[in-house]
């Protein structure tokens, strides 16, 4: 729910917005970052714990190699420079779900720095890309979870689940490069897409595997120094982050226009009310007293290891879209839809390469396949029609063996029977669209007689007029006629 603007557009236009985002991504390792406990989500509380992740005295952390590889892979996908040596540090603070009293993170020597994400700032204009800088990507451990519901006496008590302590996270900090909530939304969308392509996280916001803190300030247009920022924490969807930022811009402008000053603080967003509330101000803010973690050696990711990790880097979405447009002759819009997930892009491309006309495959996948999957709330891997089925059906339409209308009917049967297209096509006795021209010729004769003006125009050289007649015949045949055949019959009649 968004609130109605209390600040006029004119006042808002006097200010420029500055946004920087801090995103935590949970890395999909099977075990935790410093012990061998499972990271599985949803297990009974406090069942995946050991002296290390409980922070018992004397327990020593041992770094999970896979967590390092996943974080490094993510950093490479975000175009970061990998630091060959990085240092773990203790970030000290008291919180009930942090049993050690400190979190192991990285501070002045993070795993990676100087990356960027390209965002599209104007969808209607190709190539209107903007680079948003990534300051750093570092490794850290997650804290536990405080539970406020779902157990006896939850009205009076808070319970703590420590299954999540020690789950590996990559924290990705952006430069204050975004200038609107839309840009922040676009950055998050692209970031999530890239991380999903690398496969190091499932970025599931409901389960907390992707969390975002948004920093925002405003400044009068033309001013070089940034304004004082506030930080919005724990918002659980990209859409709410955008709404929270929109609300916060107005709040800042209203205060500044009233002669007031912004207090640097952390705020929470209430999505039901569409408002943010102060949580803690900078005066109460923590001094984390960072110092190097004495129980862990510096992390060394040398050139050889980096090269091995880089070898597993997949083609990234933006590059893939560009290549697909060129290679398959599809539009930017097609490429956008067909790369929404890596699995979809992989499957589309295998079908596109096997089929006679890749553009037809792109159209079929988007209009016939994805539409039906969505209508039945099915995922791509639950589709009754395989990509081999898509290829065959595309080729049948391409050669004129079946009409588009027949293809739609066969797809409907596939979904009804939960059978792949080739099986349904066989079961239906390899139907073919009619090549009998007598009915078509009769239709053509009638049309020609009924539209003397259009015939005259055609015969005077306006050859595009054929489209009018083809359209009429297709309409009369309810889309059943073979367009190529219709074209041939009409051309013969009109020329004759």
Task: Give the residues lining the site for Zn ion (CB under 5 A).
Answer: 35, 37, 50, 52-53
CB 91 within 8 A of CB 100: no
Distance CA 496, CA 484 (A): 18
Minimum Å distance from CB 58 to Zn ion?
Answer: 14
**Residue (of 381, 357, 356) closest to 369 by Cα position:** 381
CB nearer ligand ADP, residue 21 or residue 244: 21
Quick one: tokens of 288? 């984390």
Report, in this order, helix, strand and coil percent for the chain, each rounded to 5: 40, 20, 40
Sequence-separated (6 or more) residues with CB below 8 Å from residue 91: 102, 103, 104, 105, 107, 140, 288, 290
CB nearer Zn ion, residue 53 or residue 402: 53
* Contacted by 18, from ligand ADP, Zn ion, none: CB < 5 to 8 Å by type: ligand ADP
Helices marked H in 210-278: 238-257
CB nearer ligand ADP, residue 23 or residue 335: 23
Quick one: tokens of 71? 């974080």
* Contacted by 39, from Zn ion, ligand ADP, none: CB < 5 to 8 Å by type: none
Minimum Å distance from CB 423 to ligand ADP?
Answer: 53
Minimum Å distance from CB 24 to ligand ADP?
Answer: 12
* Contacted by 5, from Zn ion, ligand ADP, none: CB < 5 to 8 Å by type: none
Minimum Å distance from CB 102 to Zn ion?
Answer: 16
Minimum Å distance from CB 127 to ligand ADP?
Answer: 26
CB nearer Zn ion, residue 38 or residue 487: 38
Distance CA 392, CA 407 (A): 11
User: Of all residues in this chain, which one has the CB nearest to ligand ADP in the complex?
Assistant: 20
* Contacted by 53, from ligand ADP, Zn ion, none: CB < 5 to 8 Å by type: Zn ion
Using alpha carbons only, give the angle 187, 335, 126 rounded to the nearest 5 degrees.
65
* Contacted by 50, from ligand ADP, Zn ion, none: CB < 5 to 8 Å by type: Zn ion
CB nearer ligand ADP, residue 226 or residue 291: 226
CB nearer ligand ADP, residue 214 or residue 490: 214
Distance CA 433, CA 439 (A): 13
Minimum Å distance from CB 178 to ligand ADP?
Answer: 8
* Contacted by 111, from ligand ADP, Zn ion, none: CB < 5 to 8 Å by type: none
Sequence-separated (6 or more) residues with CB below 8 Å from residue 40: 48
CB nearer ligand ADP, residue 69 or residue 265: 265
What DSSP line would sit under 66-77, residue for residue? HHHHHHHHHHHH
CB nearer Zn ion, residue 35 or residue 309: 35
Binding residues for ligand ADP (CB under 6 A): 18-22, 173-176, 215-217, 226, 229
Per-residue DSSP letter, 401: S
* Contacted by 35, from ligand ADP, Zn ion, none: CB < 5 to 8 Å by type: Zn ion
Minimum Å distance from CB 295 to ligand ADP?
Answer: 25
* Contacted by 398, from ligand ADP, Zn ion, none: CB < 5 to 8 Å by type: none
Exposure letters 72-103 (e unless 16+ CB within 10 A, then b): bbbbbbbbbebbeebbbbbbbeeeebbbbebb
CB 351 within 8 A of CB 383: no
CB nearer ligand ADP, residue 233 or residue 408: 233
CB nearer ligand ADP, residue 34 or residue 107: 107
Minimum Å distance from CB 59 to Zn ion?
Answer: 9
Quick one: tokens of 345? 């892009």
What DSSP line would sit under 416-471, residue for residue? HHT--HHHHHHHTT--------HHHHHHHHHHHHH-HHHHHHHHTT-GGGHHHHHH
* Contacted by 37, from ligand ADP, Zn ion, none: CB < 5 to 8 Å by type: Zn ion
Helix (H) or strand (E) holding 336: helix 332-338
Sequence-separated (6 or more) residues with CB below 8 Å from residue 496: none
Long-range pairs, 406-412, Cβ under 8 A, ≥24: 406/431, 406/433, 406/480, 407/364, 407/368, 408/368, 411/368, 411/369, 411/372, 411/385, 412/372
* Contacted by 20, from Zn ion, ligand ADP, none: CB < 5 to 8 Å by type: ligand ADP
**Residue (of 35, 30, 112) closest to 309 by Cα position:** 112
Minimum Å distance from CB 49 to Zn ion?
Answer: 6
Minimum Å distance from CB 173 to ligand ADP?
Answer: 5
CB nearer ligand ADP, residue 282 or residue 360: 282
* Contacted by 217, from Zn ion, ligand ADP, none: CB < 5 to 8 Å by type: ligand ADP
Minimum Å distance from CB 168 to Zn ion?
Answer: 12
Quick one: tokens of 164? 């999540």
């Amino acid at each position: 729910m968004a609130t109605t603007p209390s600040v006029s557009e004119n006042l808002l236009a006097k200010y420029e917005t500055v946004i920087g985002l801090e995103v935590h991504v949970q890395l999909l390792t099977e075990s935790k970052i410093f012990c061998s406990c499972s990271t599985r989500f949803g297990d009974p509380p406090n069942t995946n714990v050991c002296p290390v992740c409980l922070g018992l005295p004397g327990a020593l952390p041992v770094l999970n190699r896979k967590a390092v590889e996943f974080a490094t892979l993510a950093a490479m996908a975000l175009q970061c420079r990998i630091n060959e040596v990085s240092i773990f540090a203790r970030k000290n603070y008291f919180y009930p779900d942090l049993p050690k009293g400190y979190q192991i993170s990285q501070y002045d020597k993070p795993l990676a720095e100087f990356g960027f994400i390209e965002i599209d700032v104007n969808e209607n204009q190709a190539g209107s890309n903007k680079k948003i800088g990534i300051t750093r990507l570092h490794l850290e451990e997650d804290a536990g979870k405080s539970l406020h519901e779902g157990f006896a006496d939850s009205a009076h008590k808070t319970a703590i689940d420590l299954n999540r302590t020690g789950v590996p996270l990559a924290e990705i900090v952006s430069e204050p490069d975004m200038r609107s909530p839309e840009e922040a939304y676009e950055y998050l969308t692209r970031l999530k897409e890239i991380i999903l392509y690398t496969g190091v996280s499932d970025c599931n916001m409901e389960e907390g595997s992707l969390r975002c803190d948004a920093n925002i300030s405003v400044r009068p247009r033309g001013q070089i120094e940034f304004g004082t920022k506030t930080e919005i924490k724990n918002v659980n969807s990209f859409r709410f982050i955008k709404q929270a930022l929109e609300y916060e811009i107005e709040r800042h402008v209203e205060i500044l226009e009233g002669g007031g000053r912004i207090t640097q603080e952390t705020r929470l967003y209430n999505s039901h009310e569409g408002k943010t509330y102060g949580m803690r101000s900078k005066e109460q803010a923590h001094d984390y007293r960072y110092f190097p973690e004495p129980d862990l050696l510096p992390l060394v990711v040398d050139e050889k290891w980096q090269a091995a990790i880089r070898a597993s880097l997949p083609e990234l979405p933006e590059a893939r879209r560009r290549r697909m447009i060129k290679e398959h002759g599809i539009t930017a819009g097609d490429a956008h839809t067909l790369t929404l997930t890596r699995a979809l892009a992989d499957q589309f491309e295998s079908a596109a390469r096997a089929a006679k006309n890749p553009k037809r495959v792109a159209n079929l996948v988007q209009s016939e396949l994805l539409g039906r999957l969505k209508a039945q709330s099915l995922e791509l891997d639950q589709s009754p029609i395989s990509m081999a089925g898509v290829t065959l059906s595309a080729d049948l339409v391409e050669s004129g063996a079946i009409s588009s209308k027949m293809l739609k009917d066969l797809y409907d049967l596939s979904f009804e029977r939960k059978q792949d297209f080739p099986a349904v096509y066989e079961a239906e006795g390899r139907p073919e669209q009619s090549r009998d021209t007598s009915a078509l010729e009769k239709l053509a004769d009638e049309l020609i007689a009924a539209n003397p003006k259009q015939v005259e125009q055609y015969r005077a050289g306006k050859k595009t007029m054929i489209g009018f007649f083809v359209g009429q015949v297709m309409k009369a045949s309810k889309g059943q006629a073979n367009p190529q055949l219709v074209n041939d019959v009409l051309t013969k009649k009109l020329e004759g």
